[in-house]
Chains A and B, each alone.
Chain A
Amino acid sequence: MSSEKSNDTETKPVAKKEITPAEPQDELPKFEKNLSNKITEKFSSNTEITFVKPDRIGIKVKKENIKEVATYIRDELNFDHAESVTGVDYPDEKEIEVVYHLGSYTDPQLERKILSLATRAPREDAPNPGKDSTRLPSLRDIFYSVEFHERECFEMLGVYFEGHPDNRRLLLPEDWADIPPMRKDFAIKGR
């Protein structure tokens, strides 16, 4: 897979990328490729296709463009809900990636498909959740279903979602004073 390659180039300005990932395989998932082509055509320089697999498409965008791309995905490509929002911590690259897994209930063609929309926020070594630069625009206005997922992501990784109406703790205790626990530098005792 080429996801390692794309991670290396992440800090550089993102250029339009040819759809190479699935090429060596004998049969390309055609529908998925059409879908990803549509996105690259529309947002040529701002998006990057990280992988195209059967029923799965991975897109990476800059955080400035995420709302625009998400609106396009909802209105033109008919993805209507988010299945999960995952934060992944990359301390070496000083970034936190947030991945939205989007699916569709209404379009019969898309029922099998999951589109993963990833974006990255800067990461600070001494986190101060909600007050530091680890911020992303919230997609709650576009996909209503991300509301609780983004709240979870905020407390677990300290990514503040701008425009989210309810940035409160969800699962952690009220008196949690440590760093966000899903970060890599939060270690489990004895491990």
Chain B
Amino acid sequence: MAVQLPPGVQLSKTEDDKIMTLNVGPQHPGSGHMRLIIKVDGDRIVSCDPDPGYVHRGEEKMAEYRNYITNIPHLERPVIHDSCNILYPYVLAVEELLGIEVPERAKYVRVIASELNRFSYILYWLAIYGIFLGHSTMFMWPAGDRELAIDLLDKLTGARVTHAYFVPGGIRNDFPANFEDVCIRQVNYLEKRLKEYAAIFYDNPILISRTKDAGVLSRQDAIRLGTTGSVLRASGVDFDIRTKEPYDAYEELDVHTNVLKKGDSYDRSKIPWLDMLESCNIIKQALEKMPKSGSVRVKLKPNPKGGNEEVYKRVESGRGALGVYIVSRSKPEPYRLKLSVGSFRNLICMPYLLKGEKLGNMPAVYWGLNYWPVEADR
């Protein structure tokens, strides 16, 4: 029973007295560069209000002041560790605007680069997911193995993370000498390692008890909320842009879409792991099928201009569909450029999934969404 306070200092008692508001973030490591305003009753979350925007840098505004080529390096900044995939739709859109046909070999090199990038992105995400669920080994292993994927990309593009490798008309440079052999060797090794991840992490009873039935998203809700990527596929919707609307060399490759039924945090974390296995498969296929020689880039005129039209292109990134919408008004710069990113689209799940969840499940649900705050803020 509450202490009887003297008149004048009595606090008004409301039903909400037992509800406490917590600010998780923006400096809290458990939330990334964003804030979650969480109301708890005991340790049950009553409501969650995501507050992104701490790393908003106005990429879309910046793009209106730069021409189609100088836009390349800054547009990959929202996800530097998945930079090939965030540039991919932009490059495809510009190619459609300018009417460029890309050489066959460049299409395959692009697919290989973007799959390697997806691989290294998911390893990064898995490391964070592991450490926030208290599994330090799962932080160390992917963080270490990621170096191999990064080394490959370093050899290929010349930079460890911010590659700026794709350009309208193809790619910047062809394979370095002996790249195919090194690539096959590393990919085979990584594939073997992934199996070991399953034994130590995905079959771990502690992980299963923490993530099974945490934040269940039904199939209907996944569709209604317009989610994308691993969140959507974990809820039983078979949708992957690589198979549904294949771009570049994906048309000629055999891509398998990984779908799970349950829609809980465990399934959402398992989909990226399955995607990594699929990436290995795609890289091997592409290395086999690609033309062994030929041009990789079509030279553009300086300061190319688009027509009076609008283009919407999308690809599958590490976090789901990534679309770029360009409105062109016969200028060297885009009139309006919009990045429709997977993280921003999945943000809507957060208040929805965390409501009624235990506070201790918050990291499992939050990181299971495969959410990257910097990308969502743009």
Contacts and interface: CB of A to CB of B under 8 A. Distances in A.
Interface of A: 1, 3-4, 51, 55-56, 58, 80-84, 86, 88-89, 99, 101, 105-106, 111-112, 114, 116, 143-149, 152, 169-173, 181-182, 186, 188, 191
Contact of B224 (A80, A171, A172): A80
21 contacts: A1-B307, A1-B308, A81-B224, A82-B226, A86-B325, A86-B338, A88-B335, A89-B336, A99-B310, A101-B340, A105-B237, A111-B239, A111-B245, A116-B312, A145-B345, A145-B348, A147-B348, A148-B348, A171-B378, A173-B53, A182-B60
Given A144-B226, A145-B226, A83 B52 contact: no
Interface string B301-337: 0000001111010100000010101010000000110
B53 A114 contact: no
B35 to A, nearest CB: 12
B260 interface: no
A99 B335 CA distance: 14
A51 B309 contact: yes
Contacts of A171: 52-53, 56, 377-378
Contacts of B312: 56, 101, 114, 116
B347 A148 contact: yes
A83 B321 contact: yes
A84 B340 contact: yes
A188 B65 contact: yes
Contact of B323 (A58, A84, A186, A188): A84
Given A82-B226, A83-B345, A143-B226, A105 B323 contact: no
Contact of A84 (B225, B338, B348): B338
Contacts of A80: 223-224
A112 B62 contact: no
A55 B92 CA distance: 15
A144 B224 contact: yes
Nearest to B321: A83
Given A101-B325, A171-B377, A81 B310 contact: no
A55 B53 CA distance: 33
Interface of B: 52-53, 56, 58, 60-62, 65, 223-226, 232, 237, 239, 244-245, 307-310, 312, 314, 321, 323, 325, 327, 335-336, 338, 340, 344-345, 347-348, 377-378
A1 B56 contact: no
Contacts of B56: 171-172
B93 to A, nearest CB: 11
Nearest to A55: B245
Contacts of B327: 88
A173 B348 CA distance: 20
Contacts of B52: 170-171
Contacts of B321: 83
- Report the 3 A-B pairs with minimum CB-CB distance, sorted nearest first: A145-B226, A84-B340, A81-B226
A190 to B, nearest CB: 10
A191 B62 CA distance: 10
B146 to A, nearest CB: 29
B333 to A, nearest CB: 11
B336 A88 contact: yes
A40 to B, nearest CB: 20
B150 to A, nearest CB: 30
Contacts of A144: 224-226
B223 A105 contact: yes
A81 B53 contact: no
A142 to B, nearest CB: 11
Contacts of B340: 83-84, 86, 101
Nearest to A173: B53
Contacts of B345: 83-84, 145
Contacts of B310: 3, 51, 58, 99, 116
A3 B232 contact: no
A99 B325 contact: yes
Nearest to B339: A84
A148 B226 CA distance: 11
A20 to B, nearest CB: 15
A173 B307 CA distance: 36
